[in-house]
């Protein structure tokens, strides 16, 4: 049986490898300092996540690894593997809702196992959120053997060669082994898609569809035979701010809508369900490339070149945008606050019910999802005991409930300023 220190060392080495691979090579990062249009409206809830690396260290130091595994790493068997919860979309509010709903079970299990409840600061909670959001769109390592089979089953080798064997129309994919991440593959596919489609039509070949697993398996196989990674193909961390600008400059808004702006010829990126991972995004772009080219040609929209760094920036913007929830409904939040019996213990501003067990939430400043989750985590056990004393159970939240409650508390706080 491994000691907790051995377990943490093993898990740390594993994750730091993925973190370096992802942040340096893949080039996606959600910086805290970047502001979106929503944030400019003065809503403190719309802040980009904190440092995922710090969140991982907290995940270890707060002993979360005692109960949870990440991609199978760790001995925790009490809670689920947090790297393998395959929900297609999980925003800040939805992540918080899932945490709050499961807190009673977590506390009960921690008590049974003799695990002390660690206190978490607001900044630490933001860092943990960033980590939990981060691990959801990182792909697990692919299977090279499956990737090799795919090259034949998808007929890639009719046009491309591998180690000098195969077709001679497209480039030898062996040299693509230096591209270890799906972002560069997505960029390369974008650049070469028009010519590929022409050559496939000449050969009577249909456009092969790929899913996220196909992508990472192909990357794994090509990388396994393609030699060492070269430093010059490393990317800077993707910038959501630059990506937002590039989304306009590269003509993406000529077909797509996001943040309520743009054309509706293509899917509205603010409403559709994106793939969960980066490889899924690369596969999605590949699968829809023929239709995109057809529409762009019909509308006489030039297909602009996108380099790897620009692709990293654009995808960073799209993934970061999905972290935010729409503004909550304060009136609905007030109703939920009463229906969930929060008013028995808490008051929210003048005219509220006379709950005096907990603090007056209307006196709080800059109320955010993070702050509310942090407060519930730290004070939850005593809250739950008081609720049992009053004869009612822990409230189950859904959809936008927590966002609406936060909007309600914010509205009262702003009235006092």
CATH of the domain at 364: 1.10.760.10
Residues 122 and 203 in one domain: no
Q: Where are the alpha helices (DSSP H) in 1-137?
A: 4-20, 37-40, 52-61, 92-112, 122-134
Place of tokens 């996108």: 306
Query: What local confidence, expressed as pLDDT, does residue 1 receive?
Result: 42
Q: Which of 401, 412, 402, 397 is nearest to 347 (CA)?
A: 412
Given 321, 344, 361, the domain boundary residue is: 321
Looking at the structure, tell me whether residues 27 and 112 fall in a common domain. yes
Residue ranges of the chain with per-residue pLDDT less than 50: 1-4, 7, 10-49, 229-232, 351-353
Report phi then psi at 328, rounded to 5.
Answer: -75, 165
Is 56 within a domain? yes
Give pLDDT tens digits for 198-250. Answer: 999 999 999 999 998 898 898 889 888 865 544 445 566 677 778 899 999 99
Q: The domain containing residue 46 runs over which residues?
A: 4-134
In a domain, 139, yes or no: no
C-alpha span between 73 and 7 (Å, rounded): 9
Q: Is the pTM of the predicted complex or chain greater than 0.75?
A: no
Q: What is the pLDDT of residue 12?
A: 47
Q: Which of 293, 321, 349 is the last residue of a domain?
A: 321
Using alpha carbons only, what angle is made at residue 227 by residues 226 and 228, rounded to the nearest 5 degrees? 130
Do 125 and 9 fall within a single domain?
A: yes
Q: Is residue 386 part of a domain?
A: yes
pLDDT at 75: 74
* Nearest C-alpha neighbor of 307 from the set 27, 111, 23: 27
Structural domain ending residue among the three candidates 272, 301, 321? 321
Same domain, 190 and 240: yes
Establish if 274 belongs to a structural domain: yes
Q: Are residues 160 and 307 in the same domain?
A: yes
Q: Are residues 202 and 71 in the same domain?
A: no
Task: Identify whether residues 287 and 378 lie together within a single domain.
Answer: no
Q: What are phi and psi of 8, to 5 degrees?
A: -65, -40
What is the model's pLDDT at position 228? 53
> In terms of domains, do 159 and 301 share one?
yes
Tell whether 165 and 35 lie within a shared domain: no
Q: Are residues 344 and 412 in the same domain?
A: yes
Length of the chain, please?
417
Count of CB atoms situated within 10 Å of the CB of 329: 16
* 197 and 342 housed in the same domain: no
Q: β-strands 161-162, 165-166: how paired?
A: antiparallel
Residue 25 belongs to some domain of the structure: yes
pLDDT value, residue 230: 46
Residues 309 and 171 occupy one common structural domain: yes
Does the residue 124 lie in any domain? yes
Q: Look at the chain and report how many structural domains it folds into.
A: 3
- Is residue 411 included in any domain, yes or no? yes
pLDDT on residue 96: 93
Q: Give the three-class secondary structure for 291.
A: helix
């Amino acid at each position: 049986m491994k000691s907790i220190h051995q377990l943490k060392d093993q898990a740390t080495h594993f994750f730091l490898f993925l973190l370096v691979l992802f942040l340096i090579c893949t080039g996606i990062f959600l910086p805290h300092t970047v502001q979106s249009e929503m944030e400019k409206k003065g809503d403190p809830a719309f802040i980009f996540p904190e440092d995922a690396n710090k969140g991982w260290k907290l995940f270890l130091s707060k002993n979360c690894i005692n109960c949870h595994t990440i991609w199978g790493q760790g001995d925790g068997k009490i809670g689920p593997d947090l790297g393998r919860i395959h929900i297609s979309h999980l925003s800040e509010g939805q992540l918080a809702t899932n945490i709050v709903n499961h807190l009673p079970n977590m506390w009960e299990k921690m008590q049974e196992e003799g695990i002390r409840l660690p206190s978490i600061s607001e900044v630490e909670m933001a860092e943990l959120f960033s980590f939990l959001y981060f691990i959801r769109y990182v792909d697990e390592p692919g299977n090279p053997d499956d990737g090799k089979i795919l090259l034949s089953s998808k007929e890639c080798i009719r046009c491309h060669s591998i180690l000098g064997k195969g077709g001679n129309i497209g480039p030898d994919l062996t040299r693509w082994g230096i591209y270890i991440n799906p972002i560069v593959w997505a960029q390369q596919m974008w650049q070469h898609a028009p010519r590929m489609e022409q050559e496939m039509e000449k050969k009577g070949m249909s456009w092969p569809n790929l899913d996220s697993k196909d992508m990472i398996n192909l990357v794994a196989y090509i990388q396994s035979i393609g030699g060492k990674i070269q430093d010059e193909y490393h990317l800077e961390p993707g910038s959501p701010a630059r990506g937002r600008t590039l989304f306009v400059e590269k003509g993406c808004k000529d077909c797509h809508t996001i943040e309520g702006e743009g054309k509706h010829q293509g899917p509205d990126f603010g409403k559709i369900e994106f793939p969960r991972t980066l490889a899924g995004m690369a596969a999605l772009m590949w699968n829809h490339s023929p239709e995109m080219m057809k529409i762009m040609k019909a509308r006489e929209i030039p297909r602009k070149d996108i380099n790897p760094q620009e692709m990293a920036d654009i995808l960073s913007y799209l993934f970061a945008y999905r972290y935010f929830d729409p503004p909550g409904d304060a009136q609905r939040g007030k109703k939920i606050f009463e229906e969930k019996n929060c008013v028995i213990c808490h008051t929210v501003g003048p005219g509220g019910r006379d709950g005096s067990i907990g603090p007056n939430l209307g006196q709080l400043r800059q109320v955010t999802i993070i702050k509310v989750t942090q407060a519930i985590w730290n004070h939850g056990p005593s809250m739950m005991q008081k609720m049992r004393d009053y004869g009612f159970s822990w409230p189950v939240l859904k959809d936008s409930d927590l966002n609406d409650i936060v909007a309600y508390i914010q509205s009262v706080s702003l009235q006092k300023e």
